[in-house]
Structure 1
């Protein structure tokens, strides 16, 4: 098993184009076919987030990644090249959770309805959601992927998709460290005892455990080695399924 990685966090939402995974490893090209590279404008500035395909025409990401001119790139490994596997699709409608709170980052989850369905290939396919009532115990090993930078001194993100290994942490210990932490709707992942780190990660990227998306990367603490906080997908399954119903087309 590769060295366990942790999140260096800043107690702020993880958007805005400076996301990094440090000490991780480059994944085999297109071995994470659910990964989405999300770009958008915020006050005229180009921003980026991670995300993941959950249905042919829906991507799941963080609510704080909302912006204008949103666009999703699927099937990418090296985001700086025009790979034949890539599918670039504009977002037809962004659906942030109605109870998202940008003060405490609760309910930090958003669906992006794409203008057209993605074409399933070896490089593009949805990630399964967790089963209802599924729970993760402390010590469980999961993964986080993204195109963030690979060092603290880097001025831009990594060209190729990177991945970090994260360990699920105890809710009570995370509550002591993160006063806004809500165990019913959030997951705490990463190991503060390890010196290798995933810094910032990609906002909206999936916490993948047993090949299912258990979390959506949300926020971090103030410049310390600490676990990162993920929105707990299982708590939002009814909302996700309702929002993806064909009746919600407008």
Structure 2
């Protein structure tokens, strides 16, 4: 039986994209270089303007690339999307980097553009990545342990680091967030589903990750548990991650098909 081997995507949206969910990792710190070897960085060129986006497949949030244009499953515009692996400093051409084109984008069949339910997508790369110390895929197991309220998890991305400053970091940032109970997200976020989603981030702490890091993984007890999707409209914790364990059957089926 196939065990999924995946790379994770951190997508950074342009500030002028007209979204109501800011691009940020607040209250965090710079990550140790290449301590997240499964992270991927996406460059998306539109009208010669570079939009930064924080195995053979990359797992991300479905709404992220669909905000730019309909890739269902993918159009010729995929030729303008590069996935860059082995990145720490996005302003430098590091020797560890591998640049690979996106061949096909495959959103979850039940995802509705403009909404966040089933907000998960696979990107098929044109070729397999070469595994190095800085580039490593993830193994997703059926027996993934479930997260519980109070668990501390790590999130990484290239989103901005302060609410008052629009400047973006050049190096990968990380922040520790606490898993919340189901009621916390139900009261803060419309249509939260405990079956398919994980509620993360203490409202009493000034720590947050958000749309600038859409698609980034939630790492709990050294295991990938979620994919960042959405949050409250006032840009405060908690935020919602898609529950990876719920989507494992679709991930395995899709990777097997392609």
Interval containing the TM-score (normalised by the shorter chain): 0.7 to 0.9
For residues 232 and 199 of structure 1, the distance between their equivalents in structure 2, rounded to whole angstroms, comes to: 16
Question: Which residue is equivalent to 1:153?
Answer: 164
Deviation per CA, 1:91-135, whole angstroms, max 9, x where unpaired?
A: 011111111123431010010111111000000001232534632
Question: Which residue is equivalent to 1:230?
Answer: 241
1:26 alignment partner, one of 3, 27, 30: 30
Q: Is the 8 A contact 1:130 1:233 kept in 2?
A: no
Structure 1 residue 201, shift from structure 2 partner: 4.8
Deviation per CA, 1:153-196, whole angstroms, max 9, x where unpaired?
A: 33342100000101111012211221211111111100101134
Question: Which residue is equivalent to 2:173?
Answer: 162
Q: Is the 8 A contact 1:97 1:107 kept in 2?
A: yes
Q: Is the 8 A contact 1:22 1:199 kept in 2?
A: no
For residues 208 and 171 of structure 2, the distance between their equivalents in structure 1, rounded to whole angstroms, comes to: 18
Larger deviation, residues 128-137 vs 152-161: 128-137
For residues 35 and 65 of structure 1, the distance between their equivalents in structure 2, rounded to whole angstroms, comes to: 16
With the length of structure 1 as denominator, give the TM-score of the two structures: 0.84
Larger deviation, residues 204-213 vs 76-85: 204-213
Larger deviation, residues 78-87 vs 122-131: 122-131
Structure 1 residue 198, shift from structure 2 partner: 3.6
Which protein is richer in helix relative to its size? 2
Instruction: Decide whether aligned partners of structure 1 residues 107 and 199 sit closer, same or farther in structure 2, where only a CA change above 3 A counts.
Output: closer
- 1:183 paired with 2:180, answer no
Q: Is the 8 A contact 1:187 1:215 kept in 2?
A: yes
Q: Is the 8 A contact 2:25 2:210 kept in 1?
A: yes
Structure 1 unaligned spans of 5+:
1-13, 51-55
Question: Which residue is equivalent to 1:59?
Answer: 58
For residues 237 and 125 of structure 2, the distance between their equivalents in structure 1, rounded to whole angstroms, comes to: 34
Question: Which residue is equivalent to 2:7?
Answer: none
1:204 alignment partner, one of 204, 215, 219: 215
Structure 1 residue 137, shift from structure 2 partner: 0.8
Q: Is the 8 A contact 2:210 2:239 kept in 1?
A: no
Structure 1 residue 226, shift from structure 2 partner: 1.9
Structure 1 residue 225, shift from structure 2 partner: 2.2
Q: Is the 8 A contact 2:218 2:241 kept in 1?
A: yes
Question: Which residue is equivalent to 2:41?
Answer: 37
- 1:244 paired with 2:241, answer no
Q: Is the 8 A contact 2:64 2:214 kept in 1?
A: yes
Structure 2 unaligned spans of 5+:
1-10, 16-22, 70-76
Deviation per CA, 1:195-236, whole angstroms, max 9, x where unpaired?
A: 344454501000011222111101121224221111111110
Structure 1 residue 40, shift from structure 2 partner: 2.8
Larger deviation, residues 102-111 vs 191-200: 191-200
Kindly indicate whether structure 1 or structure 2 has the higher relative contact order, using CA contacts under 8 Å at least 6 residues apart.
1
